[in-house]
Structure 1
Amino acid sequence: MKKRVGFKTLGCRLNQFETDALASRFAGLGYEVVEDSKDTDVFIVNTCTVTNQSDQKSRYVVNHALNHGHKGMLIITGCMANHHKEQLEKRYPNAYVVDNQQKSAIPQLVEAHFNQEIIPSNTYEGGVFSYAPAGETFHTRSMIKIQDGCDNFCSFCIIPKVRGRAVSRSVDAILENIKQVVAFGYKEVVITGVNISRYQHDGVNFSQLLRHIVDMDLDFRLRISSIEPDSFDDEFFELMQHPKITPHLHLCLQSASESVLLQMRRMYTYKLYKRMVARLREVDPRFNITTDIIVGFPGESEADFEKSVTAIKDLDFGHVHTFKYSKREDTRAARMNNGVPEGEKTRRSEIIRKVALENKRAYRKRFIGCHQVVLIETITDDWSKGYGEYYVPVKVNEPLLKNKFYTVLITHLDEEQGEPILVGELVK
């Protein structure tokens, strides 16, 4: 009987990429791969530690598995494993706590465990780019890791501590990875990393890497994962018009107050951010720009907060992830005074969410009467759902084929589930 390995992934797309690569490797070794801990011989929790809430969610997943009878091998990995390694080892003495640098060697650790060749997990050679291309994943699109780590050291962020300094993968390795996953049958690839706009390898920057990718003589659609609003060059904006690159960027803002951005030690101004948005909308007036907003950063005044509210309305964001500031030890912001009360953070986040939802609804209504090329991800007996090129969810009321592109005429917006989703008819 096949051994079963289960996964639970929290946090960013980079974690998702690494889980997919591990899952594919286990499938190749003959394991049955599932997305929960039930009846598994191995359960791997790929954690996040970006906020206190992320830590709580990660601990909940581990505790839930143990409280519901998981008796097999338990592996805790990801950024929380780097940030709280000693605490986790003390709290879960029977678990293996594997840091990000050794994460790629988890299949070796598991095989050694079952072969009774137990040696400490940190003796395995891992490496942040030591993941084989994933042939079988939990997602329709394939993620391609181009970079890891960060050198920005924003005052609120723990990521440089748990992911390390910025490193970039070679161009040849990235192109070979894309070639392999397209051969596996993936129609869409997503380039991801911790701070991908700072990609730099052997004199090749991010824009030049994009040029190498779109020049590949292969049929696929390219998405760019979450990206920092650095000062992009002209080639970058030119590439945003390329037919292979989808018109969507998750461009992290965090705050529209110049004084708050300065205290956050962000590498841009709001004035620069607005110019970037304007250039992207020159490329395509419906270019989908989504973002992150932090509310309640130490010293954020009501006037600072109102600037973020105004920015959401003015910049026509397609979606906004809202975070209440979470104090992280070992960061500069943890030592700042003038903390915002928790109740006030909650009030501000609710205002942001309300305004953002109104924006999302208005933005998505602009697609009614237009065509979208949709990659189907979910199917039932009655309907299919996927994402169009603008990374907006689209539903079609008939069963279609998964991992296939369809041209859909958008007819209306469905808001029955609280989330506005485009609904359309198949163009035959």
Structure 2
Amino acid sequence: MKVALDTLGCKLNQAETERLSRQLLEAGHCLVPSTTKADIYILNTCTVTHSADSKSRHWLRLAHRRNLEARLVVTGCYAQRKPDELARIAGVSLVVGNNEKPRLLSLLQDTGCLVSPTSTNGHLLTPIKPRRTRTFIKIQDGCSHFCAYCIVPRVRRQEKSQPADHTVAEIKQRVSEGYQEIVLTGTKIGDYRDNGLNLKGLLERILTETDVPRLRLSSLQPQEISPELLKVWQNSRLCPHFHLSLQSGSDQILQRMRRSYSTVDYHRVVRLIRDVVPDAAITTDIIVGFPGETEKQFAESNEFCHKLRFARIHIFSFSPRPGTEANQMLDQLGAEVKRERSQKMLALAQESAESFQKQFLGQLIPVLWEMKSDGIWSGLTSNYIKVYGKSNEDLTNKLLSVKLIKTKGDGMWGENIGFSRSLANTPNKEYNIVNVANSEGLPAD
């Protein structure tokens, strides 16, 4: 059967969709773009904001119009939270929440949504070739910490970690298929545990037992960073990129959000990272317009972000979610206030990103080249700088160095691509990693 899959939301959703794609291919089905006519459309949904819900409904209606006879299948966080609402959309045949998502393929077969093709004897009809240069692997799921604004613990509450043996085997398989970068993802990967093995132990196993050129973590919580964990970054294959969700730079708002740290705690962690991995990119999320956020508190948040010089800031206007504590708060802010504050924070984010990038002007840095558009190639450095450049060669999925010569929009412009050949032939010390063997806790303010 022709199957179209699409994903909305986080990297964890992307990892789950990738896994399902492989299962479908192994079962002998044909994957087609979601913009074409298919026999079955599968959407892995997000429900973090009202906008995410709206995008899911829009996607499903478009799919139904493409093929009125096709079966529509909805899974993910929106499906977990509001299955009946989604089931009422025209064409939807099956709604599968997160709890049942690991069994999705068998559910599709059992309900008749998916008709098994001729047996493939357990082999792929065609080898899987990387459509991207990076691939996502889920190592953990679930969160039991109920932040006031967040719906995720209500739709992904059951905490569990994938066995380390499975993760190592999965990474070896992806590397054998040609992927150059593996991104480890989960709801709260800092809570990873497998028979006494924590996240640090898992990273050490991966770096020892696999040949993955680049290993990146999707996100961590500030309280999960320790000198012991940071020792692993002495291996240059582990990307010097830390995504640490801040959410607000005001201590009063952080308390109302029920976050587990103060701005002092967060700042100490950032200083520790920069002491150990000086060239690391530290990226973050910020919510503006949280209920009761005053102009003074927003100014505090803006100033704190300015002080920390983030490499990238993802900005979200507060979106009340039914079932969360923040949804019941009385002092909700208007849409215009949220828009104004988003614009101010966006201006700061752009200034901060450019400031981070300028540190690397004139340097020769490896880039994992991903795609070509209008004659211009683009790719990512290991510390998450988007780089653009020109080349007559096919650079897809190649790790080649480039000299960074200027900032360009959301990234930097490079020249002399491949000047120092490949990553394997460049000096091991691509970024400055400080030995932390003798670190003793967080640095003082």
TM-score > 0.5, shorter chain as reference: yes
Matched, 1:395 2:388: yes
Contiguous gaps of at least 5 residues in structure 2: 117-126, 422-445
Which segments of 5 or more consecutive residues in structure 1 lack a partner in the other structure? Answer: 118-133
Q: Which amino acid aligns with 1:208?
A: G
Q: Does 1:234 align with 2:227?
A: yes
Is the CA contact (8 Å cut-off) linking 1:156 and 1:331 kept in structure 2? Answer: yes
Give the secondary structure class of the aligned counterpart of 1:204: coil
Q: Structure 1 residues 210, 39: CA separation in 2 closer, same or farther (over 3 Å shift)?
A: same
Does 2:421 align with 1:423? no
Q: Does 1:286 align with 2:258?
A: no
Correspondence 1:55 to 2:53: yes
Q: Give the 3 Å change call, closer, same or farther, for CA 237–98 of structure 1 in structure 2.
A: same
Q: 1:405 is matched with which residue?
A: 399
Per the TM alignment, residue 380 of structure 1 is displaced from its structure 2 partner at its CA by 5.4
Q: How does 1:181-330 map to 2 (within 5 A)?
A: 181-330=174-323
CA distances 1:36-85 after superposition (whole Å, capped 9, x unpaired): 14211111111100111111111111122223445312111110000110
Given that 1:42 and 1:75 are in contact with CA atoms closer than 8 Å, whether structure 2 keeps it comes out as yes
Which residue of structure 2 lines up, in the alignment, with residue 130 of structure 1?
none
Give how far 1:374 is off: 1.1
How far, CA to CA, are the matches of 2:114 and 2:357 in structure 1? Answer: 54
User: Is residue 39 of structure 2 the alignment partner of residue 38 of structure 1?
Assistant: no
Letter in 2 for 1:55: D
CA distance in 1, matches of 2:268, 2:243: 16
Query: Structure 1 pair 346/173, CA: closer, same or farther in 2 (3 Å)?
Result: same
Aligned runs of 1:95-114 on 2, under 5 Å? 95-112=93-110, 113=112
Counterpart for residue 24 of structure 2:
26
Give, as a single letter, the amino acid of the residue that structure 1 aligns with 2:348: V
| More deviation, 107-116/209-218 | 107-116
- 1:343 equivalent among 336, 348, 352: 336
2:387, 2:411 within 8 Å by CA — same for their partners in 1?
A: no
1:124-203 aligned within 5 A? 135-136=128-129, 138-203=131-196
Distance (whole Å) between structure 1 residues aligned to residue 240 and residue 186 of structure 2: 19
Aligned to 1:125: none
Q: Which amino acid aligns with 1:102?
A: E
Q: AA paired with 2:13? A: N
Q: Secondary structure at the match of 1:378?
A: strand
User: What's the CA shift for 1:282?
Assistant: 1.2
8 Å CA contact 2:214–2:237 kept in 1: the answer is yes
Distance change (3 Å), C-alpha of 1:77 and 1:163: same
**Matches of 1:190 and 1:196, distance apart in 2:** 12
Identity of aligned residues (%): 35
Q: 1:136 to 1:20 in 2, by over 3 A?
A: farther
CA-CA distance at 1:424 after TM superposition: 2.9
Asked whether the equivalents of residues 412 and 424 of structure 1 are also in contact (C-alpha less than 8 Å), the reply is no
Structure-2 change in CA distance of 1:37 and 1:97 (3 Å): farther
Asked whether the 8 Å contact 2:3–2:38 carries over to 1, the reply is: yes
Give the TM-score taking structure 2 as reference length: 0.86
Deviation at 1:287, TM superposition (A): 1.1
| CA-based RMSD | 2.1
Alpha carbons of structure 1 residues 209 and 98: separation in structure 2 relative to 1, 3 Å? same
Alignment match, 2:437: none
- CA deviations 1:396-420 (Å, max 9, x no partner) are 20133322211111122223xxx34
- CA distance in 1 between counterparts of 2:159 and 2:64 reads 35
Tell me the CA shift for residue 161 of structure 1: 0.9
Aligned counterparts of 2:26 and 2:197: Cα–Cα separation in 1: 34
Letter in 1 for 2:291: P
Is 162-171 or 8-17 further displaced after alignment? 162-171
Q: TM-score, normalised by structure 1?
A: 0.90
> CA 1:353–1:57 in 2, change beyond 3 Å: closer, same or farther?
same
3-state SS of the aligned residue for 1:35?
A: coil
Residue 216 of structure 1 deviates from its aligned partner by 2.2
Aligned to 2:8: 10
CA distance in 1: counterparts of 2:198 and 2:97, whole angstroms: 28
- Structure scoring higher RCO (CA < 8 A, sep ≥ 6) equals 2
- Stretch of structure 1 that moved more, 65-74 or 182-191: 65-74
Q: Provide the aligned length of Structure 1 versus Structure 2.
A: 407
Q: 1-side partners of 2:96 and 2:319: how far apart?
A: 25
Task: Give the corresponding residue for 1:131.
Answer: none
CA change 1:138–1:102 in 2 (3 A) is: farther
Q: Is the 8 A contact 1:24 1:136 kept in 2?
A: no
Q: What CA deviation, in whole Å up to 9, does each residue of 1:368-393 have, x standing for no partner?
A: 21122111211358332211111111
Equivalent residue in structure 2 for 1:353, among 341, 346, 349:
346
Question: Which amino acid counterpart does residue 199 of structure 1 have in structure 2?
Answer: Y
Q: Which amino acid aligns with 2:396?
A: K
**After the TM superposition, which of the residue ranges 265-274 and 234-243 deviates more from structure 2?**
234-243
Report how far residue 218 of structure 1 moved.
Answer: 2.0
CA distance in structure 2 between the partners assigned to 1:139 and 1:287 by the alignment: 24
* C-alpha distance 217-13 of structure 1, shift in aligned 2 (>3 A): closer
